[in-house]
Amino acid sequence: MSLTSDWPLPVDGVRFFVPDFIVTLFTGNVLCKDLYPLRFGYYPKAVGHNMQRNEHHDDHLLIYCIDGEADLMVEGRHHRVRKGSLVLLPKDSLHSYAANDDNPWTIFWIHFEGELSQAYLDNLNYSFETPIIPLGVLPRLVSGFESLLAISASGFGQKVYIHIANHLKQLLTYIAIQIPKVKAGESKSLNLDEIHGIMQHHIHEHLDLDSLAEKANLSKYYFSKKYKELTGRSPIQHFIHLKMEHACYLLDVSTQHVNQIARELGYDDAYYFSRLFKKVIGMSPTEYKKVRYR
């Protein structure tokens, strides 16, 4: 079995080793023997984190850097890992890595194996020459890794681990969908996951086209044109739809007055908010509340 770094785990870090009896379950169960994790975790601001593997190890390793930097050597080639980098290290790759001293990386990582693990790796179009894929920090992918860690806290039941193994399949197949976007240059021009993450983060505020374009590092005209090509609606229309969907949620779960909900979503004018709500939802907030209680 390949070594896992014995770097001291920080307070907010997570390092999970799959017990041997669960690995045996994985290898013998048709629902998960194709692909399953052996070890996985999360290292925030991993100061001093390093590993050197001079011999071929017996599992694959995936690292997703969401902040900071590190130096990586694969088969004698040097690479710089930066924020948003996905690192793929198959079992037959000699490699070493070390977190940057001044700006250490923050990473999610998974060691995995399985009868079809190489096929999943091939689906990611891995090569020794390009072991790093600049995906960017994708909110959905970050959430996927966080979900994997959350599932692992559910206990050692067989069904839990079958779920973990299949969650790993979802992660790898989702990543495979994102890679062509990177290679085609789409992710550098407009990353929809990142833009939608920004919208969700600012859902209680005012966010105009200039601000969104600036966050995407694009001109306002190109940002709006590209967004509409990809989604069929303007970015501001989508942001308003998100706000109205959240307004429906607040009307469903709380007893707040329409004026309060309007202010919570960044609208000082409750009448204007009600007009937007009716345009998007098809009825006024007051009518929506009445329908909800029928």
Q: What is the CATH number of the domain that holds 108?
A: 2.60.120.280
Closest by Cα among 205, 286, 291 to 240: 205
Phi-psi category of residue 223: left, alpha or beta, with phi > 0 → left and psi -120 to 50 → alpha = alpha
User: Are 240 and 280 contacting, i.e. CB atoms less than 8 angstroms apart?
Assistant: yes
Considering the domain architecture, whether residues 24 and 152 belong to the same structural domain is answered as yes
Considering the domain architecture, whether residues 124 and 42 belong to the same structural domain is answered as yes
> What pLDDT score was predicted for residue 80?
92
Q: Any idea what the Cα angle at residue 278 is, between residues 274 and 284, rounded to 5°? A: 65
Domain count, the chain: 2
User: Are 81 and 70 contacting, i.e. CB atoms less than 8 angstroms apart?
Assistant: yes
C-alpha to C-alpha distance for 178 and 269, rounded to whole angstroms: 40
Give all strands (DSSP E) within 56-190, no chain letters: 60-67, 70-74, 77-81, 85-89, 95-99, 106-113, 132-134
> What pLDDT score was predicted for residue 293?
53
Q: Any idea what the Cα angle at residue 133 is, between residues 130 and 138, rounded to 5°? A: 175
pTM of the shown model? 0.63
Spatial strand order in the sheet of 106-113: 14-17, 36-43, 106-113, 60-67, 85-89, 132-134
Considering the domain architecture, whether residues 161 and 120 belong to the same structural domain is answered as yes
The reply to whether 49 falls in a domain is yes
User: Are 151 and 160 contacting, i.e. CB atoms less than 8 angstroms apart?
Assistant: yes
- Beta-carbon contacts of 3 under 8 Å, excluding residues fewer than 6 positions away, are 51, 53, 57
Whole domain around residue 236: which residue ranges?
A: 190-292
CATH code where residue 256 lies: 1.10.10.60
> What pLDDT score was predicted for residue 183?
55
Partnered with residue 16 across adjacent β-strands are: 40
Closest by Cα among 274, 214, 221 to 244: 274
| Domain stops at, among 146, 164, 183 | 183
Considering the domain architecture, whether residues 22 and 138 belong to the same structural domain is answered as yes
Considering the domain architecture, whether residues 71 and 143 belong to the same structural domain is answered as yes
Kind and range of the H or E run holding 277: helix 270-281
> What pLDDT score was predicted for residue 61?
95
Closest by Cα among 205, 182, 199, 190 to 264: 205
C-alpha to C-alpha distance for 63 and 47, rounded to whole angstroms: 16
C-alpha to C-alpha distance for 174 and 161, rounded to whole angstroms: 20
Closest by Cα among 264, 225, 222 to 247: 264
Considering the domain architecture, whether residues 114 and 66 belong to the same structural domain is answered as yes
Place of tokens 């976007």: 181
The CB density around residue 66, as the number of other CB atoms within 10 Å, is 19
Partnered with residue 107 across adjacent β-strands are: 43, 65
Residues of the chain with pLDDT under 70: 1-7, 56, 180-189, 292-294
Considering the domain architecture, whether residues 148 and 29 belong to the same structural domain is answered as yes
